[in-house]
């Protein structure tokens, strides 16, 4: 698992999405993902992808409560 986290950190650094002095850990990754998931406007996200989805009912689970 550490290899995957290290690889992710390197890719984040390459794209200027990781500027912290500390190493990325699984715990830190989970925290960052949870923060991002809480920022998502799920109604807007559904609208963005709806035209690409044939069976719209699959988007019904796109809610904060699903997390």
Q: Give pLDDT tens digits for 38-62.
A: 999 988 999 999 999 999 898 888 8
- Selected residue with higher pLDDT from 2 and 20: 2
Closest by Cα among 48, 7, 1, 46 to 27: 1
Residue ranges with strand state E in the chain: none
Chain centroid offset of residue 39 CA = 10
DSSP conformation class of 64: G
**pLDDT tops 70 at residue 66:** no
Collapsed DSSP state (helix, strand, coil) of residue 48: helix
Gyration radius of the chain's alpha carbons: 16
């Amino acid at each position: 698992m550490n290899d995957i986290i290290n690889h992710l950190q390197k890719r984040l650094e390459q794209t200027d999405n990781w500027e912290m002095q500390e190493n990325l850990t699984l715990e830190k990754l989970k925290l960052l993902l949870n923060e991002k998931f809480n920022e998502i406007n799920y109604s807007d996200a559904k609208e963005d992808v709806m035209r690409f989805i044939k069976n719209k009912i699959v988007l019904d689970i796109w809610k904060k409560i699903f997390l």
